Amino acid sequence: MTEQPANTTEPSLRLLKWVVVAFAVFTLLLTIVFFSWWTMKERFIFGDSAFEPMQWMAAAEKHDSCDRGDMVLDVQHRMLRRGMDKSQVTVMLGRPTWEEHNQFEYELGKCLWVIHGLRLYFDEGGRLVHTAIIQH
């Protein structure tokens, strides 16, 4: 019987442990970067311009720019309030691009190579319940 020295398999096990640790660290960093981007993606895609009614109305005709998209975060977080009536929203933002019984959508334009829209959801009484930025 020939015995193999114990130290020949030890370096390969050490290398395997380093590879596993490096892969785990890489995976953890990649996960942190992805979820950081995911939580901040609206800030990366859309601008932080203040809502300007005349600019909002003029941008309705431009489908290749992101003029409305630059104002959408201000509209969504400062202007629109839960419980607003459909007519109040229409007075503030104008006629929606698309309308269904309990939903409005305002096209935001092409922002970061994708067409986006601001979708507004209303309850049966016509009161604003929720808003969302969607992709087409």
| Bridge partners, residue 132, by sequence | 119
Cβ 70 vs Cβ 42: under 8 Å = no
pLDDT digits (tens, 9 = 90+) for 2-60: 555 555 668 888 889 999 999 999 999 999 888 877 677 777 778 788 999 999 998 87
How far is the CA of 114 from the CAs of 51, 111, 135, in angstroms? 21, 5, 7
- Whether the pLDDT of residue 66 is over 80: the answer is yes
For the stretch 97-119, pLDDT in tens is 999 989 999 999 888 888 999 99
Q: Which has the closest alpha carbon to 53: 87, 82, 98, 94?
A: 94
By the 8 A CB rule, do 122 and 102 touch? yes
What pTM value is reported for the model?
0.71
Token output for 33: 């970067």
Looking at residue 97, its pLDDT comes to 92
* CA separation for the pair 133, 115 (Å, rounded): 11
